[in-house]
Chain A
Amino acid sequence: MRIKADTGVCVGAGQCVLTEPAVFDQDDDGIVVLLTDQPGDQAAARAREAVGLCPSQALSIVED
């Protein structure tokens, strides 16, 4: 799986960073930054949770 982040719609709520800091970060303006777009198995499960929690639907998963 791969993760995509749409920085245009991100509202900086930081739910993703709280859920999996190994995959998600925020820049100085609070907007999501992907630290990797292909997380390992453990991080992938939490990244999926983050996708479900993101309030602005900025995150999505592309299954390979």
Chain B
Amino acid sequence: MTETVASELPAQAFPVPRGCPFSEPAEYARLRERAPVSKVRLPGGEQAWWVSGYEEGRAVLADPRFSSDRRKDNFPNPTGDPRFRERFRRQPPSMIGMDGADHSAARRAVIGEFTVKRLAALRPRIQQIVDGFIDDMLAAGTRPVDLVRALSLPVPSLVICEMLGAPYADHEYFQSRTAALIRRSTPSDERLRASDELRSYLADLLARKEAEPGDDLYSRQIARQRTGGALDHESLVSTATLLLLAGHETTANMISLGVVGLLEHPEQLALIKSDPAKTPLAVEELLRYFAIVETATSRVATEDVEIGGVTVKADEGIIVSGLSANWDPAMFSSPGELDLERGARHHIAFGYGPHQCLGQNLARLELQIVFDTLFRRIPGLRLAGPVDDIPFKANASIYGAYELPVTW
């Protein structure tokens, strides 16, 4: 990549760790005003383009000249550790790292499992799961309760386990591995080991499904590949890993942050308490506001592209900041205000373009059910301490809270 002289770059490395959940880093607003597409330094020392404008961000994500192939030299690597790229080169990519026709084929192999109709049929079961964990919370009798362990993490974990056909009994095992993977401060060795362990866990599970298929997504994926010819074990493991990881960490963090956001804005919470028909749009605003998956929307240019007044050269890396785009005042007026009725459906918290989140409608359903049920059944729910005491994930690839003590 053509290196920009270091003195011309913002002093801060990007992405900037998030201080509190109720504002974007001050550097983001400054950069967005000055240049919606600009070069930045990543924490590991590499350079990449940083897209902070909403229009520009959507344009990049819809443009086939930007590749999602993590094996390419300048695909943004925030750690700067070359072993991650080498790792991507050794394993077959999952859909999130594919382009064009390969991506389309891989995505179409599973998208039928996530249609709006299929998910609507899951609603009663998700409701039952949410009620079950809230029953446990109420029955335990001790307070405060850590909402992360009591509700945020178990709900999406159990839902995705049942969908995929992964044993929920193993949740401690895979949750600890994914937690290590997404924490940016995890030493590289440990992160690589966590990724290996997760893969080998899923390879074993898929081998068991091959011998003894169940009525679940993993078994159907195996059957589907069989009908199409030979089984490609490694690529099945890649898809399986992606779905398990993306299926629980994301929604879990969104549940925790959503609860904090609603409790800290009681007049907003009152809106959905009095009229649950408003919850779906409220969920869109919470997704916009917290934009928890900030940099998964990274790409590398395959040719020179003019965008936002600059030329991104072929082979240069680029990061579309979901947070910065969702806080672009040109698209969302007073973006720092949580306004559940603003009509925020065009946010890019789920990305945009062909890779837009495959699980988005599952996440929406889980979030709607959790918020409605939690505040209906525990109307006196409140934070157990000041919001400043909550350990937020300032430096993780998925933003959220490590712990969320609540009481009622």
Q: Is B one of A's binding partners?
A: yes
Q: Which residues of A contact B104 (CB under 8 A)?
A: 11
Report how many A-B pairs have Cβ atoms within 8 Å: 68
Contact mask for chain A residues 2-41; partner B; CB cutoff 8 A; 1 contact, 0 none = 0000000101111101110100011111110000000000
The CA-CA distance from A14 to B118 in the complex, in Å, is: 11
A9, A12, A21, A55: which contacts B114 (Cβ < 8 A)? A12
The CA-CA distance from A14 to B116 in the complex, in Å, is: 6
Q: Evaluate whether A13 and B345 lie within 8 angstroms (CB atoms) in the complex, with A55-B352, A55-B353, A56-B354 already known.
A: no
Complex interface residues of chain B between 21 and 69 (CB less than 8 A to chain A):
61-62
A45 at interface (Cβ–Cβ under 8 A)?
no
B107, B345, B361: which contacts A53 (Cβ < 8 A)? B345
Kindly provide the distance from the CB of A61 to the nearest chain B CB, expressed in whole angstroms.
Answer: 17
A11 adjacent to B361 (CB under 8 Å): no
Complex interface residues of chain B between 339 and 394 (CB less than 8 A to chain A):
345-346, 350-358, 360-361, 364
Q: Which residues of B contact A17 (CB under 8 A)?
A: 115-117
The CA-CA distance from A13 to B364 in the complex, in Å, is: 12
The CA-CA distance from A21 to B116 in the complex, in Å, is: 10
Kindly provide the distance from the CB of A9 to the nearest chain B CB, expressed in whole angstroms.
Answer: 8
B112, B353, B358: which contacts A29 (Cβ < 8 A)? B112
B115 adjacent to A53 (CB under 8 Å): no
Complex interface residues of chain B between 98 and 126 (CB less than 8 A to chain A):
104, 107-108, 111-117
Chain B interface residue number, banded: 20 to 34
Q: Evaluate whether A12 and B360 lie within 8 angstroms (CB atoms) in the complex, with A26-B115, A30-B115, A57-B62 already known.
A: no
A14 adjacent to B108 (CB under 8 Å): no
The CA-CA distance from A3 to B140 in the complex, in Å, is: 54
Determine which residue in A15, A19, A31, A52 has the highest number of CB atoms from chain B within 10 A of its CB, and name it. A15
The CA-CA distance from A59 to B352 in the complex, in Å, is: 14
Contact mask for chain B residues 212-242; partner A; CB cutoff 8 A; 1 contact, 0 none = 0000000000000000000000000000000
Q: Which residues of B contact A30 (CB under 8 A)?
A: 108, 111-115
Q: Which residues of B contact A57 (CB under 8 A)?
A: 62
Q: Evaluate whether A11 and B111 lie within 8 angstroms (CB atoms) in the complex, with A18-B116, A26-B116 already known.
A: yes
Question: At the interface, is chain B mostly helix, strand, loop or mixed?
Answer: helix
Kindly provide the distance from the CB of B71 to the nearest chain A CB, expressed in whole angstroms.
Answer: 22
Q: Which residues of A contact B345 (CB under 8 A)?
A: 15, 19, 49, 53
Q: Which residues of A contact B116 (CB under 8 A)?
A: 14, 17-18, 21, 26
A13 adjacent to B360 (CB under 8 Å): yes
Kindly provide the distance from the CB of A22 to the nearest chain B CB, expressed in whole angstroms.
Answer: 13
A13 adjacent to B115 (CB under 8 Å): no
A12 adjacent to B354 (CB under 8 Å): no
Kindly provide the distance from the CB of B277 to the nearest chain A CB, expressed in whole angstroms.
Answer: 14
A52 adjacent to B111 (CB under 8 Å): no
B351 adjacent to A12 (CB under 8 Å): no
The CA-CA distance from A11 to B106 in the complex, in Å, is: 11
The CA-CA distance from A54 to B62 in the complex, in Å, is: 11
The CA-CA distance from A15 to B287 in the complex, in Å, is: 15
Q: Which residues of B contact A25 (CB under 8 A)?
A: 117
B107 adjacent to A14 (CB under 8 Å): no
Q: Which chain B residue has the least Cβ–Cβ distance from A12?
A: B111
Kindly provide the distance from the CB of B187 to the nearest chain A CB, expressed in whole angstroms.
Answer: 36
The CA-CA distance from A55 to B104 in the complex, in Å, is: 14
Q: Evaluate whether A14 and B356 lie within 8 angstroms (CB atoms) in the complex, with A53-B345, A53-B346, A55-B351 already known.
A: no
Q: Which chain A residue has the least Cβ–Cβ distance from B62?
A: A57
The 9 A-B pairs at the shortest CB distance, nearest first, are namely A30-B111, A12-B111, A55-B356, A17-B116, A26-B115, A29-B112, A14-B116, A30-B112, A11-B354
Residues of A within 8 A of B (CB): 9, 11-15, 17-19, 21, 25-31, 49, 52-53, 55-57
- A to B CB contacts below 8 Å, 15 in the list: A11-B104, A11-B356, A12-B111, A13-B350, A13-B356, A14-B115, A14-B361, A18-B116, A21-B116, A26-B115, A30-B113, A53-B345, A55-B356, A56-B62, A56-B354
